[in-house]
Structure 1
Amino acid sequence: MGSSLTVGVFVFEDAEELDVVGPWEVLGFWAAHVATAPVRLVTVGREEGWVRCAKGLRLGVDHDLAAAPALDVLIHPGGDGTRVLTKDSAHLDWLTQLHDQGVLLASVCTGSLVLAAAGLLKGRSATTHRDFAGKLAAIDDTIDVRATDRYVDDGDIVTSAGVSAGIDMAFHLVERLDSAEAAAEVRQGTQYDCPVS
């Protein structure tokens, strides 16, 4: 890992809580304790302030889309709120712009449906929550839907399956952006995949 990185997590009404905070915990631990170069982690959303997630947890938005810093990576969670986002042309255009700028896009759960609605998964391999695999295929039948995979890395877009799979994807991102040793250190520090006594 050479230069600094800015990672944004998109936060929206009715996002699934663990889709947001699972990757945040992994990437935040990496940024605070392991990364050898600066990693900045921020939340971005339609507007600054608070949003209420699917189970009632309120989360703060650091930056609205207009004022957000330049991102290297964007994590797009899933949740009931994605139903609105798949039809929001401004949001889909924003994702397309990020992709065109070379931002690494990573989705959790039904966040991949939003990427598909933006046309970003055309002809690619991708995954989502197993209950929504058919819906992902229905949005774009050129997608190679890998419903049994925890996450799928297709170069500049990484998708993950339901809820907890976003944590697995985050460890993959640490390994990809830093090293296998860094990912192992974060696993150790967060007691992930540790045996139960």
Structure 2
Amino acid sequence: MTTGSPLRVGVFVFDDCEELDVVGPYEVLAWWARHSALRPEVVTFSADGAGVRCAKGLRLVPDHGAADVGPLHVLVYPGGQGTRTLLRDREHLDWVRWMRARVPLMTSVCTGALVYAAAGLLAGRPATTHWGAFDELAVIDPSVLRDTESRFVDDGDVVTSAGVSAGIDMALHLVARLDSPEEARTVRRGIQYDPAPPV
């Protein structure tokens, strides 16, 4: 991706977002930002700039509010139980559509895809989400082409990922796409991400 200004990635946070949905991609993208010659900027932001309490109790203090986060090239929208409130919030869905018109690359982790679907972003498009949320996705928008196998689905200007840890895979894919596969491998080695579950 070539831009006229420094590459900026915004990770949106909200009450009851899933912790790893946020910090998994953030770890990948922030590691990349510190070591890449592109020097991208990675920031967190909430709707009003106030701190949030994640699904399992972790408290986060974001860098910005939605009103002052500034231009973004990539939006990362996590999942978690809090999405069930947001996908019914008309004002929030209007904001998601407003961002869609201004942010070149919209991404989601886990049930963040449900909010994107409710905002109309996934109509007729391939997408994935947490394995336990595909029925909800179908109810929200039956036209979504649900991919139940992939860890992430890149459909050009929208990238969705499956549940929780899949956000790490998606973020590494973003590094490969925005920078290079070599840089993504460097990040993967740097964070020692080499899944081999012990159970």
Q: Name the TM-score, length of structure 1 as normaliser.
A: 0.95
Q: Which residue of 2 aligns with 1:25?
A: 27
Identity of aligned residues (%): 56
Residue 44 of structure 1: how far off its partner (Å): 1.2
Task: Determine if contact 1:2/1:37 at 8 Å carries over to the other structure.
Answer: no
Q: Which amino acid aligns with 2:156?
A: G
CA distance in 2, matches of 1:59, 1:91: 20
Q: Which residue of 1 aligns with 2:75?
A: 74
Q: Which amino acid aligns with 1:67?
A: D
Following superposition of structure 1 onto structure 2, how do residues 1-197 of structure 1 map, counting pairs within 5 Å?
2-3=2-3, 4-33=6-35, 35-193=36-194
Q: Which amino acid aligns with 1:53?
A: C
Cα 1:44/1:131, change in 2 over 3 Å: same
Structure 1: tracts of 5 or more residues without a match: none
Cα 1:100/1:2, change in 2 over 3 Å: closer
Residue 37 of structure 1: how far off its partner (Å): 1.4
Cα shift readout 1:132-178 (whole Å, capped 9, x = no counterpart): 01111111111100012100001100000000000000000000000
Cα shift readout 1:70-91 (whole Å, capped 9, x = no counterpart): 1110000000000111011121
CA distance in 2, matches of 1:132, 1:195: 25
Cα shift readout 1:33-85 (whole Å, capped 9, x = no counterpart): 1x211211111111123110000000012111111111110000000000111
DSSP 3-state at the match of 2:100: helix
Cα shift readout 1:85-104 (whole Å, capped 9, x = no counterpart): 10111211111111112431
| CA RMSD after TM alignment | 1.5
Task: Determine if contact 1:47/1:61 at 8 Å carries over to the other structure.
Answer: no
CA distance in 1, matches of 2:56, 2:195: 27
DSSP 3-state at the match of 1:8: strand
Residue 194 of structure 1: how far off its partner (Å): 6.4
CA distance in 2, matches of 1:53, 1:196: 25
Task: Determine if contact 2:72/2:103 at 8 Å carries over to the other structure.
Answer: no
CA distance in 1, matches of 2:172, 2:11: 15
Residue 195 of structure 1: how far off its partner (Å): 6.5
Task: Determine if contact 1:49/1:62 at 8 Å carries over to the other structure.
Answer: no
**Count of equivalent residues:** 196
Q: Which amino acid aligns with 1:163?
A: V
Higher mean alpha-carbon deviation, 109-118 vs 140-149, is at 140-149
CA distance in 1, matches of 2:142, 2:2: 38
Cα shift readout 1:101-122 (whole Å, capped 9, x = no counterpart): 2431100000000000000000
DSSP 3-state at the match of 1:169: helix
Cα 1:14/1:102, change in 2 over 3 Å: closer
